[in-house]
Amino acid sequence: MTEELMLAGSIKNNAAAQEELYNRFSPRMLGVCYRFAKNREDAEDMLQEGFIKVFTQLHQYRNEGALEGWIRRIVVHTCINILKKNKKFSESVDLIHAKGIHIREDMIPSIMQAKQVVECIRILPLGYRTVLNLYAIEGFSHKEIGTLLDIEESTSRSQYTRAKAMLEEILVKKNIIHKARKNNFGNASSR
């Protein structure tokens, strides 16, 4: 089924077309949700809510840019909205210093490839993880993150700096990146 047919069918509420669209994009989108969520179950809840929004808003898609990017944006916003409902989340993104956080060796999963990096991201504290996901991976600016999470832009910036340092530490411990390379990351640009 071509993307045009799939889109047209999905807009007409055709179940087969919708399933095709879901099957095509859900694995990657679940990967996105998983980076934000506490566990797989929560990630699936986010995915479900995200795709319901996708299907109900699909008629608004104007073929400007890739469909995947459009879906991804909706899914990311859904994740953030779900996270924001949790009081713990708003506390954690406001937290400038993540006190008492110590990354132990046994916290780092020994899984391979992309999964390994994602799991390393997921062991970051919730606030750090969210800002890092949005900034480094989803490409939001600190200003956008501030608006999205109802925090100061400077908070987002400092959260990201700490998140990045912590993630680097984890990745070095796991030998995913090496110290020499790690040092090269010192002069990170900020948006």
The residues that touch other proteins, with contacts defined as CB under 8 A, are 13, 15, 18-19, 22, 26-28, 30-31, 34-35, 40-41, 43-44, 47-48, 51-52, 55-56, 86-88, 113-115, 117-118, 121, 132, 135-141, 144, 164, 167-168, 177, 184-185, 188-189, 191
Q: How many helices (H) and strands (E) does the chain have?
A: 10, 0
In the structure encoding, which two tokens stand for residue 26, read together?
Answer: 């859900």
Question: Cβ distance 169 to 177 under 8 Å?
Answer: no
Least CB distance to other proteins at residue 115 (A): 6
* Complex with other proteins: residue 138 or 151, whichever CB lies closer: 138
HSE-up of 156 (CA within 13 Å, CB side)?
23
HSE-up of 30 (CA within 13 Å, CB side)?
14
* Complex with other proteins: residue 7 or 167, whichever CB lies closer: 167
Least CB distance to other proteins at residue 105 (A): 21
Least CB distance to other proteins at residue 50 (A): 10
* Complex with other proteins: residue 138 or 159, whichever CB lies closer: 138
Please tell me the distance from the alpha carbon of residue 73 to that of residue 119, in angstroms, as a whole number.
22
* DSSP structural state of residue 178: -
* Complex with other proteins: residue 117 or 151, whichever CB lies closer: 117
* Complex with other proteins: residue 151 or 168, whichever CB lies closer: 168
Distances (CA, A) of 115 to 11, 89, 131, 139, 183: 33, 24, 19, 20, 24
Least CB distance to other proteins at residue 53 (A): 10
Least CB distance to other proteins at residue 167 (A): 8
